[in-house]
Amino acid sequence: MDPFTHTLVGLTTAKAGVERLSPLATTVCVLAANSPDSDVIVGLTTDRWNYLHHHRGITHSIVGVIVLAVVIPAIVWLGERAWSRLRRRQAVSRYRGLLLASAIATATHPLMDWTNNYGVRPLLPWSGRWIYGDLVFIVDPFILLVVGGAAFLATSDRWPKVVLWALLGAAFVTLSFIVAARRDPSLEGADTARMILLVGVLVFSIVRLTGFVRGRERIVATTALALVIFYWGGLALAHRKALASANSVANQAASQFHEDVLRVVAMPTLANPTRWFCVAETDRAIYRFTVRLGDRTAADPKLIVDGYQADGPEGIERYAKPANQAAELASVASKDRRAGILLDFARFPIAHVPEQDCVSQTIVQFSDLRYTKPGTGRGTFSLNVPVECATK
């Protein structure tokens, strides 16, 4: 999930009662909820491929979460004691309370990340196997609104905090307009997300002005966390139906090419629990399509287009796996360090050789079909590797 969601979940967790474990527990909750993303340091100090290799790595694993859950409160506890000694005051924080608060908040991070289609690797360093929840889009306006609204109502007890929250809300709304203006097909729900945020900000502002929440902050925060869990449950039911539809579409499409379906996934889209982006792999190709719950015409198995086309009619995109000479060129290109990292990360990797007949050199295009298609240029989830034709 995005860092805003993790921060708001940590803050809401603290306000749900965890803050009572010790002074500074709220600070620890916010830091701990974000601590697994400390792997961003790799991206700041090396290239983007090392970052892709290490992101959601050891810091998101069971071992990493345990270590961070111990380290974060230790730093805060020692820092508070050092500061108190300088100010000649008695330290007030309790390490045991901070440790428990940290354990709870840190655990929320990989749990939240598991719910989307990016995945986590909980068994590192022993196993690099990815697991995916496929329930929540990487940025979910419903969750942002619920935990953000609860955190706002539970902490805006003074006007300086109200002003800070107002600035944060304005930033979110502005960002939603910017995203909607991009008109990216993968962000079809941007307009809906913007409307959700606008309405939500208005509703929570009115509730705050009524003073209804005063004295009920803990109940509000606990209710918000419970609503997130119920929301996951609803999405799980929707995902089950979407996956059943995706399997049906995939099998009908594959039968036209006499292929065997190996696996099918249905992944969430932005702000629309009824629309699911699906990828299916067969023995000779990978298909991409969209299913909409309750809409039988969302993906027509009879309408299959070459996925490598820049544009085409709406239907099912088919990406043939490389064979013969193309497979040999792709095998050579896969030895590139960057390609190795991308292929290790990719859930649905595909290689495409646009020009196989060449004199000296050609390009092998790699991509993870969850996020992009081959030939889309420089990006985190795509890569073009030049290959000498003499190696074929």
**Strands 304-306 and 349-352, sheet pairing:** unpaired
> Residue with structure tokens 């921060």?
7
CB 109 within 8 A of CB 37: yes
Give me the mean pLDDT over the 102-113 stretch. 97
Q: What pLDDT was estimated at residue 391?
A: 47
Distance CA 83, CA 168 (A): 30
- When mean pLDDT is compared across 82-96, 258-272, 312-326, the lowest value belongs to 312-326
Residues in a beta bridge with 263: 281
CB 109 within 8 A of CB 115: no
User: Between residues 388 and 19, which one has the greater pLDDT?
Assistant: 19
User: Between residues 390 and 77, which one has the greater pLDDT?
Assistant: 77
Taking the domains of the chain in order of start, what are their residue ranges? 3-110+132-233, 238-320, 325-391
The mean pLDDT value of the chain amounts to 89
Reported confidence tier of residue 354, pLDDT bands at 50, 70, 90: confident
Give me the mean pLDDT over the 120-136 stretch. 96
Q: At 70, list the tokens.
A: 């111990």
Q: What pLDDT was estimated at residue 69?
A: 97
**Tens digits of per-residue pLDDT, 181-214?**
565 656 677 777 778 888 888 888 888 888 888 8
- When mean pLDDT is compared across 31-45, 123-137, 147-161, 372-386, the lowest value belongs to 372-386
Complete DSSP assignment for 309-335: SSS--SSEEEEEPP-THHHHHHHHHTT
Give me the mean pLDDT over the 315-322 stretch. 91
**Tens digits of per-residue pLDDT, 238-250?**
999 999 999 999 9
Q: What pLDDT was estimated at residue 177?
A: 66
Q: What pLDDT was estimated at residue 379?
A: 67
